């Protein structure tokens, strides 16, 4: 009986020390970090294992373990003083960016985008029907991931459209639109959808024009029809919708392409389509 107790005590001691060593090793190797997923979700915990395909994270409070595929990870933000994953070749090879969180930094998520772009627009109907394809620029401000994939967008644009036949005739529109926005992510690009309303300053000079239209009547083969003109300036309500695709680089640089639709009420009452390429920076 004494020998049995001695053997059990010895085995217990060996098991205890082995377990203690494992706990110490795991505590040393585990890295406290914040994992940023491409859809904006953040996971905080200790990274206890890594491969080229996935990362194993343990919740420090519940001790529950979660496996996250590297495909869904945008970046890993290490806590101050933690360097265990800084040069982890498996994670880097898996395409995951590793960033260091400074002691004074409170979070590691890029939310605010400022961008400028250039492109063209076409007034489809109304006084702009006789105008050619215009050109102009756009300034945009976005606050992303307010809640999950939802955010807010502010677009300010300028487009100049001149007459196809008369170079002195033109219409300039400056729409400013505020929109709720939804952004979702794929492996290489981000896609955003938005719809909102605002106002547009419009200025133009287009004299009264006439088109000669065949009637098919030998007595009066041609009919004179007036073309709607515009020679005024005004502030009009405008509704708009748009979609864009973009790529966010690890350093915060953003390059994208967007297409927008506007409807200008009141004075012009015209449908407008625009497209632009933009470049910006996300903070």
Same domain, 90 and 125: no
Q: Are residues 71 and 188 in the same domain?
A: no
Report which DSSP code applies to 126: G
Count how many residues are written for the chain. Answer: 283
| Structural domain boundaries enclosing 131 | 112-282
Residue 11 covered by a domain: no
How would residue 106 be classed by pLDDT, with cut points 50, 70 and 90? very low
Instruction: Give which of 190, 192, 187, 191 is closest to 73, Cα–Cα.
Output: 187
Is pLDDT of 193 > 90?
Answer: yes
Q: Are residues 150 and 89 in the same domain?
A: no
The pLDDT assigned to 178 comes to: 97
More confident residue, 23 or 67: 67
- Give the chain's domain count: 2
Last residue of a domain, one of 100, 129, 154: 100
We report the CATH number of the domain holding residue 81 as 2.30.30.100
In this structure, are 205 and 262 located in the same domain?
A: yes
pLDDT number for residue 136: 93
**What confidence tier does 155 reach under pLDDT thresholds 50, 70, 90?**
very high
pLDDT score of 283: 85
| Cα Rg of the chain (Å, integer) | 31
Does residue 277 form part of some domain? yes
Helix ranges, 166-222 (H): none
Confidence of residue 194 (pLDDT cuts 50, 70, 90): very high
> In terms of domains, do 53 and 92 share one?
yes
Burial 36-71 (b: 16+ CB within 10 A, else e): bebebeebebbbeebeeebbbbbeeeeeeeeebebe
pTM of the predicted model over 0.85? no
Cα separation, 133 vs 273, in Å, equals 10
**Is the predicted pLDDT of residue 220 greater than 80, yes or no?**
no
- For residues 54 and 130, membership in a common domain is answered with no
Angle 194-42-63 from CA coordinates, rounded to 5° = 150
Domain co-membership, 50 together with 161:
no
Please give the pLDDT value at position 148.
79
Average pLDDT of the segment spanning 118-142: 86
Question: Are residues 120 and 249 located together in one domain of the fold?
Answer: yes
The answer on pLDDT for 210 being more than 60 is no
Res 234: pLDDT = 83
CA atoms of 66 and 283, how far apart (whole Å) = 29
Q: Which residues pair with 115 in a beta bridge?
A: 140, 280
Please tell me the predicted confidence (pLDDT) of residue 256.
96
46 lies in the same domain as 167: no
pLDDT for 191 equals 93
Higher-pLDDT residue of 70, 140: 140
In a domain, 205, yes or no: yes
Q: What is the CATH number of the domain that holds 116?
A: 2.40.160.20
274 shares a domain with 175: yes
Please check whether residues 188 and 262 belong to one and the same domain. yes
């Amino acid at each position: 009986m004494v020998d049995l107790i001695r053997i059990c005590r010895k085995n217990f001691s060996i098991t205890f020390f082995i377990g203690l060593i494992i706990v110490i090793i795991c505590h040393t190797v585990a890295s406290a970090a914040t994992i940023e997923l491409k859809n904006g979700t953040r996971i905080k915990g200790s990274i206890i294992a890594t491969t080229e395909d996935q990362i194993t994270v343990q919740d420090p409070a519940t001790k529950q373990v979660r496996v996250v595929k590297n495909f869904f990870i945008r970046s890993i933000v290490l806590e101050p003083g933690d360097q265990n994953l800084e040069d982890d070749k498996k994670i880097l090879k898996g395409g995951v960016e590793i960033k260091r969180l400074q002691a004074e930094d409170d979070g590691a998520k890029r939310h605010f985008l400022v961008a400028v772009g250039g492109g063209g627009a076409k007034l489809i109907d109304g006084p702009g029907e006789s105008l050619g394809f215009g050109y102009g620029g756009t300034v945009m401000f976005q606050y992303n991931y307010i809640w999950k994939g939802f955010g807010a967008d502010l677009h300010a644009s300028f487009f100049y459209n001149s007459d196809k036949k008369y170079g002195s005739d033109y219409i300039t529109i400056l729409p400013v639109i505020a929109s709720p926005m939804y952004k979702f992510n794929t492996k290489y690009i981000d896609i955003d959808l938005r719809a909102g309303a605002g106002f547009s300053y419009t200025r133009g000079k287009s004299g009264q024009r006439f088109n000669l239209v065949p009637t098919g009547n030998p007595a009066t083969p041609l009919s004179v029809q007036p073309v709607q003109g515009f020679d005024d300036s005004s502030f009009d309500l405008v509704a708009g919708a748009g979609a864009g695709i973009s790529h966010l680089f690890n350093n915060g640089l953003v390059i994208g392409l967007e297409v927008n639709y506007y409807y200008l009420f009141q004075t012009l009452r015209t449908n407008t389509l625009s497209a632009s390429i933009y470049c910006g920076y996300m903070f």
